[in-house]
Amino acid sequence: MTKYSNKKCRFVILISGRGSNMQELIKTCNSDNWPAEISAVISNNPKAAGLDWANNNYINSTYLDSSKYSNRDDFDRDLSIEIDKYSPDYILLAGFMRILGCSFVRKYYGKLINIHPSLLPAFPGLDTHGRAISSGVRIHGCTVHFVSPELDSGPIIAQGYVNVFSKDTVEILSERVLEIEHKVFPSVAHWLTLNEVILDKDDKVSILNNHNGLFYL
């Protein structure tokens, strides 16, 4: 049995929509009694369904409406102010559909963790499932990685793999990838609470206790 320290790992979670990865992470954290505290859920979308879910589960939640900002720097500044209220150990991007500026990323480098719906470096950016089908790949999946200033290119922590079938549509493949996301992201978050993910000065990731960072559906 793993022995937990008395210090809880503090997470702030960023979302833009329903926050299904956020929900799965929080439910797993609570059911498995992680040494963690979900300090806040923050969205750039005031209508994000995930905010209602967080409120209903007694988690601090708020939003900064990114559509009201004329430039990225102002939004990033206010988001940083809001995040810093909670002094998080890690900031988890769980379907946060907004590009963060270089200054913001550098400030929190090593604390920002994102989940992306492809096997990076393949298919960075949007429409990952459609591009995977169009390209003819037979393996697709998701990647959990540290966020770097270059989009979807930070050091990789873990990846989840799914098959791509000839009759797959974007919707079908999306659901299959989401299923593996719900395994990979909570696992990585748990490793973080146990200090088992190490990012060294050369941006190389090590995972302790024989976790190999590979998941299969």
Least Cα distance to 60 among 78, 79, 86, 36 occurs for 86
* 114 has binding-site annotation: yes
* 98 has binding-site annotation: yes
* 21 has binding-site annotation: yes
Backbone angles phi, psi at 40, to 5 degrees: -165, 155
Least Cα distance to 122 among 168, 177, 165 occurs for 177
Q: Are 155 and 198 in contact (CB under 8 A)?
A: no
* 99 has binding-site annotation: yes
* 20 has binding-site annotation: yes
**Active-site annotation holder among 116, 129, 182, 190:** 116
* 97 has binding-site annotation: yes
Within 10 Å of residue 179's Cβ, how many Cβ atoms? Answer: 13
Degrees to nearest 5, angle at CA 182 with 176 and 183: 100
Catalytic status, residue 116: yes
* 19 has binding-site annotation: yes
Q: Are 146 and 136 in contact (CB under 8 A)?
A: no
> Which segments of the chain are extended strands (E)?
9-15, 36-43, 61-63, 90-93, 112-116, 139-146, 156-163, 197-199, 205-207, 214-216
SS3 206: strand
Report the binding-site residues.
19-21, 72, 97-100, 114
Report the binding-site residues for (6R)-10-formyltetrahydrofolate.
72, 97-100, 114
The residues annotated as belonging to the active site are 116
